[in-house]
Structure 1
């Protein structure tokens, strides 16, 4: 969320940043809302001052025997009190209107983020590895999984409807191995603290990371009013909500392997076959909390941690810098890792790593204390996938498939598969 004071001082830059994200200029409207709020606050302060002075005058009038004057002043004080009470309610409404207007505005990109309207404006940063070659036509993951008896979409649909999957046997075990491999890598080699967070959160948590209020339709809400997490970014980042940290404690790096839930609103007809776009999926999430000076370096580090997963699995991928029109709501800069899927003959996103600056921290009121300084600063937040387990399972199946339909288990996963070298 933006600071209205910063918007006042940087109107042109603010509107230019929104324009780059395909948004209409909003500085003038926001400042008008703030002007109305400020004007009303000034009137309230003047009324309070008059009430205070009139209250003092009552005592003087009574002391001088001016009972009529005292009664008139008491009547004025009562009227002012009623006016102030009504005015305070109006102040709350004006503040809520400004807060709501600010809450739906996306973050603006850093200066080096490419300008573009959609994914066509994304820029390739680099690639790793080579595309595998086959002397047969490679199949897609659902063809392989169903043939091996390890993917059952029909039963999943009977149980839960579309966009769910049921994994069985060695395919289920391979998916579990992938998640354990990722969480071990990030905790044992990359220095992240493992956290097992709640999968249900309050409104405030989704507001803090930017999913609410604008993207409510993309979430699942329970009958009790809590929300199923769309990503572990939500609980992990909100661990510092309302907190004041010491700068010496930063960076704070946490990771969690959790299920995630998304309604996939607006995705009708897209990726309806297989596991690519699910209502429920598993993901290893990376979250970093840093000071203002370290966040950009932390983004590069986080991207490297996510890339290491794919490198150890021997999966060819490319890294894309997202353009302004394709970034998420809270991001200032995002890298997407896109893994090669030979069955689709296409690259597909498997991880996004984003730096949000202090955008989320302002929504969460998460700050840090610099030694020797009285003024508190907002932390910077980062999040990334390290990586999406389901999509990684898809990539392993398609990249390691054999002509007879069997799947070679990548060496990095064999310790998690009791030494199993091949499925099928």
Structure 2
């Protein structure tokens, strides 16, 4: 099988990018010009079903009218003040997000990585100011296979060579345990442990879903040992798994939620750390900040996203359609697929090496009008917008079936 034909106009645009952009990504060979709902259109007018949703940043699809309208209205009034002043949108957003999470306080940032860094600083400050850990001795337990962002601190506790190589020296203070192994996690905790930082479901690793009971055990252990449980729900949260948060799948409430991606509604970067006052209240004025974090445009958009989630409609769609997606993908196991892992509208599909690599399958699907993304060699990820239709999923699975058959 061959990769899709690329038109002259597309080649020209890609060549211009490659001439002047630092090559920190390796995009699929498509140039998108428009998007609406679950579909995008390239510069040649070809349409594609978007099953990536910008790594779950587009949970509500491209240009959802309810989100676009509030962004347009806010653009006409006020976009940025910095946190040197109050603005009339931030308090509304914070109140709504705190209520959605069942927590007291919200610390708004921009990107997911910024939110993770904020959670790390919060956990360390809590360890010194509340728990009584000696100065500069606090540690945080993290999981193998994690992906929490790309800052030097964060890649320092990644075990992905591509993320780490040539970017050291790295910050100390992180202890690794196997993902999904609650006993190993419990054994790693000592008197200096400030927090456990995990993704409830590992996204970049290939949508790795831990065994039932793992998150409950993490919650039990951290509560018993006076350690914060920080849940990185940047990809897994806000409806993606059929629940508001992936932790809800086991009825677990962490001490700290780290949110991003879909919180910005596909309009702009919005992230936040959400926790109760006894945790997030340790941050004092002047110790942490962001010029754009909590800006009125972001707050207005984030508030609308929270309002949409508060009805439960999108969570229910993801839950029901996820059952359908899992059934359809399961039919491909043994036919070019070696395994599937599904949580709501989120799937990792392991490709049989005899068929090709994940990248090769993604490129072949591109040629048939379906956008997915590969990871870790043999896996493709699917994260359809929560507005996708069952018929659209069926069509996409049929394209995958044809690609796998050669």
Same-fold status (TM-score > 0.5)? no
* TM-score, normalisation: structure 1: 0.23
**Which of 1 and 2 has greater Rg?**
1
